[in-house]
Amino acid sequence: MLLVAGVVWAMAGEFSSSLPRAELWRMVREGVAGYTAVKGQEAGELIQASGETWRQLRNGPLFTGGAIVLGGTLALLALFYLLRGQVKLEKPRTGIKILRWNLGERMLHWFVAVLFIILTVTGLTLLYGKAVLLPWLGKAQFAYWAQLAKWLHNISGPLFIAGLVPMILIWFKDNLWRPGIDWAWFKALGGLVGRAHPPAERMNAGEKGWFWLLMTVGALLSITGLLLDLPLFGLERESMQMIHLIHGVSAFLVIAGALGHIYIGTIGTEGALEGMIHGEVDLSWARQHHDLWLEALEKEGRFSLAKSDTRIERPESFFKPEK
């Protein structure tokens, strides 16, 4: 209080002649620093004026835009499911299992996925909690949850990055863009519309798109999150506010992508989730969705279709590429 009074007094003193209050507030808005004996970054600034701009952007376009993006994505996915339904296996299962994701890949995937879900729920609480949860939970309960959410969000972020970086590294090669194959996949809309099955490698073009969204916007989300988490670089509040808005916008883009990814990985495609849970997919699934991957395995001598066809009676997994 003393500090504030001192700064106001110092500023007001300079304009005691005409309209002192108007002059004072004009200077405050412009961020002119007053005198204070307190040492510290921006200590002499009475009111951080750009904070008001940030507040309006956060509570306006970010708040509404984010709700539109997420609501719109969910509505589109629901509509798509109603129109298209699940992409079913076209051929009966052979009982022959092919290892698609090894244990390390699966553990990394679920580590990142669980943290992402925690970050999404807690992040959305930080932005929408006051409007959506407070009236519903009441002040005391909401205060507990909001504090917990903020804490969880702050510690989950670095853990998420610790999982995302190796995930990007191990799947980088599989996600390199192959124009011929990948554009053709997109043109055929990945077989999601119509019945055509465009050829695909270990990762199809849709998966590659998700991967590159994580590589770019996900990286931006992570870096801005770290800067907000650890304000070690002496950034002024104005920069932090800008970083916060970039963090929010990139979060909505990645969450929308994740909703699409989760849809395709669960109810959207028969047999995809079992691959990410048990590691193995049925030969019919691999042929239908990732035929070029299967061919590549065969060329490398890591899988023989002829051999597998003779072993249909042995349903247990015999193909373990990591061994």
Question: Shortest CA distance to 182 belongs to which of 159, 199, 166?
Answer: 199
Minimum CB distance to ligand HEM, residue 229 (Å): 18
- Which of 24, 112, 213, 249 touches ligand HEM (CB under 6 A)? 112
Structure tokens at 5: 């009074």
Quick check: 149 binds ligand HEM (CB under 6 A)? no
Nearest-angstrom CA–CA distance, 79 and 85: 9
- Which of 275, 286, 288, 319 touches ligand HEM (CB under 6 A)? 275
- Which of 113, 184, 226, 246 touches ligand HEM (CB under 6 A)? 113
Quick check: 272 binds ligand HEM (CB under 6 A)? yes
Nearest-angstrom CA–CA distance, 188 and 36: 66
Nearer to ligand HEM among residue 116 and residue 185 (C-beta)? 116
- Choose the binding region for ligand HEM from 41-49, 122-130, 234-242, 273-281 (rule: CB under 6 A): 273-281
Minimum CB distance to ligand HEM, residue 73 (Å): 14
Question: Shortest CA distance to 214 belongs to which of 254, 249, 177, 166?
Answer: 254
Nearest-angstrom CA–CA distance, 121 and 119: 6
Nearest-angstrom CA–CA distance, 281 and 319: 11
Residues in the chain, how many?
323
- Which of 54, 211, 293, 319 touches ligand HEM (CB under 6 A)? 211
- Choose the binding region for ligand HEM from 35-43, 71-79, 181-189, 267-275 (rule: CB under 6 A): 267-275
- Which of 58, 93, 106, 109 touches ligand HEM (CB under 6 A)? 109
- Choose the binding region for ligand HEM from 11-19, 121-129, 130-138, 207-215 (rule: CB under 6 A): 207-215
Quick check: 273 binds ligand HEM (CB under 6 A)? yes
Nearer to ligand HEM among residue 24 and residue 118 (C-beta)? 118
Helix (H) or strand (E) holding 245: helix 237-263
- Choose the binding region for ligand HEM from 11-19, 55-63, 187-195, 208-216 (rule: CB under 6 A): 208-216
Nearer to ligand HEM among residue 25 and residue 111 (C-beta)? 111
Question: Shortest CA distance to 47 belongs to which of 92, 12, 8, 76?
Answer: 8
Binding letters toward ligand HEM, positions 290-319, x by CB under 6 A: ------------------------------
Produce one character per residue of 78-102: b if its CB has 16 or more CB atoms within 10 Å, e if not. eeeeeeeeebebeeeebebbbbbbe
Quick check: 261 binds ligand HEM (CB under 6 A)? yes
Nearer to ligand HEM among residue 248 and residue 257 (C-beta)? 257
Question: Shortest CA distance to 236 belongs to which of 66, 33, 63, 62?
Answer: 33
Q: Please give the single-letter amino acid code of residue 265.
A: G
Helix (H, G, I), strand (E, B) or coil at 269: strand
Residue 148 makes CB contacts below 8 A (sequence gap 6+) with none
